[in-house]
Amino acid sequence: MKKIFKLALGQAIILGLAFPGTVSAAASHNVSRIYGSSRYQTSINICNNFSSGKVQNVIVTSGNNFPDALAGSVLSKQLNAPILLVDKSLSDSQDSINYIRDHLDVSGTVYVLGGYASVSDEYINYIKSLGFNNIKRLGGKNRFETNKVIVENMNVSKGTPLVVVNGSNFPDALSISSIAGMKGYPIILSNTDTLPDEVKEKISTISPSSVYIIGGQGALSDNIISEIKKLDTTIEDGNIIRIWGKNRYETSLNICKYFNLDSSTVVIANGENFPDALSGSALAAKLQAPILLTDGKNISTQKEYIDTTKYTDEIILGGSGAVSEDVENELKGIEKKLFEVTNEYVGEDGKYYIEGNYLKYVTDINEALDYVKRTGDSSVVEEDNGQWFILDDGFDMTISDKVKLEVDSDVSIKLIHFDSNGNIFYNQPNFIDMVNGQYEDKPVFNLFIKDGKVMKMDQQFRP
């Protein structure tokens, strides 16, 4: 296909996307990330953040199987214990065991969540060989029996509120885990339509003053509510509260909104994978922080909520593969914008400035055809046997009038260069070099803007 690059000049007023000349300042947020090279290294680093000194208790659970540990966050809070993930074999989990060796007091206790298939006796025997004799397995023949055993070890007082979650669906349980932990509400695992026999007795014994049903009808049907009312005839309808959303992320957000914790900290985790949040639930409960789930790529809706709260310390769990750098930047108040630079200079005030237009990179053929219809510029598309496609698979569409932006004095700049064979490489000049024209290719950049200033400029390749 013929490679054609176009910088399409659309009218911002037509698009309804007029941009101001400056970017509004965002509230100050302290954003940190806890991560490792694997779920197990991430777990170790979370445990180190839980306590870098000695601890009296450690909870050990499988990093390959989430149900056993879903109720563990409440136990963790009660025991002031980090949750440590281990792999199937001891040989693959030596670093995790080293955390126990280095941080557990010799008189402390290791709580193993799950049966032998989850965490084998190989672990228990090895931990004993290190001189730790207080090891307690909390497990059963299935996830519901394990759940029952964990709740029994919490010594829950009669009348304590409890939380019911779907035992086959981790996101809802993880979203409520730290809140349940800090409040001491036991988490009960259930099937979608019927309560497991293993947990019915615990509900009757606890006789909760209130019950929180986490998730919609697809997660826990109204029959669960009917069964709870049969087990505890004293509970009133108004004390059975369902918290849910149209998906796991909205449910997570609605949990945060409902409990509205008076905290300065919120923990951000990926809602597609359980391990990071599993370990993180212990840390979140200790910090009195809710867990807010994201798909790892977008956090705009959650950020709108965060900005209405006191959450100024935001802890991301997992590496950029779990929660992207774009999400991290958004939490930091750094806006990422595509921009065509038409001028760069040092002002009379000694400050750095760039001028140009905001862009949108269009890859959707329907949006491209709409652009052609509005502007009459058909050079960005081509027809082949009645089928339209975008030339070069995409084009930059101008979506603003001319904009002037201040550039930070310590701006990070990444520019494209080509070697003698035409291969791309990057260098990082200072702003003055850029002013002097020491860059090649099209002047299209990803700008990272915070508090109205450009903090970073990454040039984008265009064919």
SS (H, E, C) 277-326: HHHHHHHHHHCCCCEEEECCCCCHHHHHHHCCCCCCEEEEECCCCCCCHH
Q: What is the mean pLDDT of residues 296-308?
A: 94
Q: What is the pLDDT of residues 218-263, one digit of tens each?
A: 999 999 999 999 999 999 999 999 999 999 999 999 999 999 999 9
Measure the CA–CA gap between 251 and 65, rounded to whole angstroms. 22
pTM of the model as a whole: 0.80
Question: Please, which residues have CB within 8 angstroms of residue 14's CB and are 6 or more apart in sequence?
Answer: 374
pLDDT value for 438:
65
pLDDT value for 440:
66
pLDDT value for 439:
67
Measure the CA–CA gap between 98 and 120, rounded to whole angstroms. 17
Helices and strands (H and E) in the chain: how many: 15, 22
Measure the CA–CA gap between 405 and 353, rounded to whole angstroms. 6
pLDDT band at 25 (very low <50, low <70, confident <90, very high): very low
* DSSP β-bridge partners for residue 8: 397
Q: What is the pLDDT of residues 384-397, one digit of tens each?
A: 988 999 988 899 99
Q: Which of 189, 138, 144 is nearest to 162 (CA)?
A: 189
pLDDT band at 203 (very low <50, low <70, confident <90, very high): very high
Q: What would you report as the CA-atom Rg of the chain, rounded to the nearest whole angstrom?
A: 27
Q: What is the pLDDT of residues 55-96, one digit of tens each?
A: 999 999 999 988 888 889 999 999 999 999 999 999 999 999
CA distances 144 to 196, 293, 371, Å, are 7, 25, 56
CA distances 425 to 5, 406, 463, Å, are 20, 27, 15
| Residue 320: both structure tokens together | 């950029």
User: How does the average pLDDT of the chain come out, rounded?
Assistant: 91
The domain segmentation of the chain, as residue ranges, is 7-25+335-459, 30-331
Q: What is the mean pLDDT of residues 20-28?
A: 41
Cβ(59)–Cβ(79) under 8 Å?
yes
Q: In the block, which residue shows the tokens 């001491």?
A: 184
Among 56-70, 120-134, 278-292, the least confident range:
56-70
Tell me, what DSSP letter sits at residue 158? T
pLDDT value for 449:
95
Q: Above 50 in pLDDT, residue 349?
A: yes
CA distances 142 to 137, 146, 147, 198, Å, are 14, 6, 9, 10
Q: Would you list the DSSP string of 332-388?
A: TTPEEEEEEEEEEEE-TTS-EEEEEEEEEEE--HHHHHHHHHHH---TTEEEETTEE
